[in-house]
């Protein structure tokens, strides 16, 4: 698909270049030709006006290679042109109007010469006999130069079109690259999402299948299968919600309700929520909260960010470990950080943990508390949408710190 679009863009670019080039070349060529001919015509007119009665002087004022032919009563009064040329000229004059003045370009048949002819009828004399003057200016040299210009313009055009095709093809590839990447990411996203959904759906189906096989038994007897199906449906619900959040963020359809947010209060409230979780999982939660740290943002999204980071910290910290939630002012920033003494992340994985669906392949990730690898992608989107920055530092088997910085609000 992209190759076809690339080709179409190239063809379009080349067509535009060709059109512009043809129009400008024709313009340049036409203008130069017009100026050359106009100059000759002007000098002829000037000479004719000033010196009509004396052909000898007249000739001296015209460019070298100019012939003059004066005919009266079918007699050649004067001609400095070679005889065969005079005959050709007379033949030409006979085919054209004789009563008025005319000027034409004339490519001499069977020769490569070009002349500018100016025919001036003589006034009828007392015996009503007519005659004419014919001024023949040789423009072969000028026309040769114009031919060379035409040739050069043509060659430059061919070269230009080839260059435009190559450049167009290359530029089209460059322009399409981000779209191509976004498209491929989207395809990957859809395929990963479908893959992630298959597991809970299969588990739900299998567990409900067992229940359906034992319709004679009570709900209590089948509680294990029903619980399994219920847990998976909850997992799927979270997955669908996460997918929806990311899809909306991609389409810029996840508006933020920006207001003053007291991060100190938000962190305290979230820490309170996690104390029972810490206790139940035999881990320690410490909150280091500097008072009155504020930013402008969406309260719910910032809470979601804290939940994602704390959920990970608890998930990847073994029993007796410690999770520290802190909020403080750091120069012009309101800084949130979640530090744990958990499994840590290798530097290889660290580069990819914000990628959608990316999960470190650890024993902990393979057990049933396994998520779908979307949490940190959403966290990053939330931080970016608040014009903040998120950083992670980690030492394998020692612990991890996620730090999010937001512009401080001093209102």
Ligand X SMILES: Nc1ncnc2c1ncn2[C@@H]1O[C@H](COP(=O)(O)OP(=O)(O)OP(=O)(O)O)[C@@H](O)[C@H]1O
Secondary structure letter of residue 292 according to DSSP: T
CB 281 within 8 A of CB 319: yes
Torsion of CA 204, 207, 209, 211, to 10 degrees: -130
- Residues 6 or more apart whose Cβ sits within 8 Å of residue 17: 160, 161, 164, 168
In the complex, least distance from residue 182 CB atom to Mg ion, rounded to whole angstroms:
24
Please pick, from the candidates 204, 261, 305, 374, the single residue that binds ligand X as defined by CB under 6 A: 374
In the complex, least distance from residue 313 CB atom to ligand X, rounded to whole angstroms:
5
Q: Which two tokens stand for residue 175?
A: 């322009």
Residue 343 binds which one of Mg ion, ligand X, none, with CB within 5 to 8 A depending on kind?
ligand X
CA distances from 370 to 236, 366, 398 (A): 12, 6, 21
User: How far apart are the C-alpha atoms of 331 and 346, rounded to whole Å?
Assistant: 30
In the complex, least distance from residue 360 CB atom to Mg ion, rounded to whole angstroms:
11
User: How far apart are the C-alpha atoms of 79 and 64, rounded to whole Å?
Assistant: 15
- How many of the other CB atoms lie within 10 Å of CB of 229? 21
Please pick, from the candidates 9, 149, 231, 360, the single residue that binds ligand X as defined by CB under 6 A: 360
DSSP reduced 3-state for 81: coil
**Closest residue by beta carbon to Mg ion:** 375
Please pick, from the candidates 172, 271, 278, 353, the single residue that binds ligand X as defined by CB under 6 A: 353
Residue 273 binds which one of ligand X, Mg ion, none, with CB within 5 to 8 A depending on kind?
none
In the complex, least distance from residue 333 CB atom to ligand X, rounded to whole angstroms:
22
Site string for ligand X, 242-281 (x = CB under 6 A): x---------------------------------------
Q: Contact between 325 and ligand X (CB under 6 A)?
A: no
Site residues (CB under 5 A) for Mg ion?
312, 371, 375
In the complex, least distance from residue 369 CB atom to ligand X, rounded to whole angstroms:
9
Instruction: For Mg ion, give the closer residue by CB, 116 or 356.
Output: 356
| Count of residues in contact with ligand X, rule CB under 6 A | 21
Q: Which residue has the tokens 């920006």?
A: 258
Site string for ligand X, 133-152 (x = CB under 6 A): --------------------
Please pick, from the candidates 143, 211, 313, 327, the single residue that binds ligand X as defined by CB under 6 A: 313
DSSP reduced 3-state for 331: coil
**Closest residue by beta carbon to ligand X:** 371
User: How far apart are the C-alpha atoms of 409 and 171, rounded to whole Å?
Assistant: 43
DSSP reduced 3-state for 396: coil
Instruction: For Mg ion, give the closer residue by CB, 59 or 197.
Output: 197
Beta partners for 104? 117
User: How far apart are the C-alpha atoms of 217 and 21, rounded to whole Å?
Assistant: 85
Instruction: For ligand X, give the closer residue by CB, 263 or 313.
Output: 313
In the complex, least distance from residue 314 CB atom to ligand X, rounded to whole angstroms:
9
Q: Contact between 401 and ligand X (CB under 6 A)?
A: no
Q: Are strands 284-289 and 322-330 parallel, antiparallel or unpaired?
A: parallel
User: How far apart are the C-alpha atoms of 249 and 378, rounded to whole Å?
Assistant: 9
Q: Contact between 321 and ligand X (CB under 6 A)?
A: no
Secondary structure letter of residue 298 according to DSSP: -
Please pick, from the candidates 373, 380, 381, 390, the single residue that binds ligand X as defined by CB under 6 A: 373
Residues of the shown chain interacting with ligand X in the complex, contacts defined by CB under 6 A: 242, 308, 312-313, 316, 340, 342-343, 345, 353, 358-360, 365, 371-376, 400
């Amino acid at each position: 698909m992209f190759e076809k679009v690339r080709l179409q863009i190239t063809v379009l670019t080349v067509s535009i270049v060709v059109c512009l080039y043809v129009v400008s070349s024709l313009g340049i060529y036409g203008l130069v030709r017009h100026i050359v001919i106009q100059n000759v015509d002007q000098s002829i007119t000037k000479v004719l006006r000033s010196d009509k009665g004396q052909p000898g002087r007249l000739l001296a004022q015209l460019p070298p290679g100019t012939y003059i032919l004066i005919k009266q009563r079918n007699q050649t009064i004067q001609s400095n042109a070679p005889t065969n040329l005079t005959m050709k000229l007379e033949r030409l004059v006979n085919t054209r109007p004789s009563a008025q003045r005319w000027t034409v370009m004339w490519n001499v048949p069977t020769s490569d010469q070009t002349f500018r002819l100016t025919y001036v009828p003589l006034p009828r004399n007392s015996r009503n006999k007519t005659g004419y003057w014919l001024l023949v200016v040789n423009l072969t040299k000028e026309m040769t130069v114009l031919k060379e210009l035409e040739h050069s313009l043509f060659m430059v055009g061919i070269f230009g079109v080839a260059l435009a095709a190559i450049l167009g093809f290359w530029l089209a590839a460059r322009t399409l690259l981000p779209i191509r990447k976004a498209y491929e990411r989207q395809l990957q996203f859809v395929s990963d999402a479908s893959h992630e959904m298959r597991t809970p759906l299969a588990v739900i189906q299998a567990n409900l299948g067992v229940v359906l096989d034992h319709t004679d038994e009570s709900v209590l007897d089948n509680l294990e299968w029903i619980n399994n199906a219920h847990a998976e449906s909850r997992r799927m619900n979270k997955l669908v919600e996460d997918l929806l959040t990311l899809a909306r963020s991609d389409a810029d359809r996840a508006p933020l309700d920006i207001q003053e947010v007291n991060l100190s209060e938000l962190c305290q409230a979230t820490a309170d929520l996690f104390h029972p979780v810490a206790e139940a999982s035999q881990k320690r939660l410490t909150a280091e909260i500097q008072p009155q740290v504020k930013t402008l943002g969406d309260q719910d999204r910032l809470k979601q960010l804290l939940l994602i980071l704390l959920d990970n910290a608890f998930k990847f910290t073994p029993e007796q470990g410690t999770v520290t939630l802190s909020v403080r002012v750091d120069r012009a920033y309101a800084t949130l950080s979640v530090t744990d003494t958990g499994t840590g992340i290798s530097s290889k994985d660290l580069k990819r943990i914000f990628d959608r669906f990316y999960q470190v392949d650890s024993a902990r990730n393979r057990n049933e508390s396994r998520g779908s690898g979307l949490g940190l992608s959403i966290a990053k989107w939330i931080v970016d949408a608040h014009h903040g920055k998120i950083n992670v530092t980690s030492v394998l088997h020692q612990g991890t710190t996620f730090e999010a910085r937001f512009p401080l609000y001093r209102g």
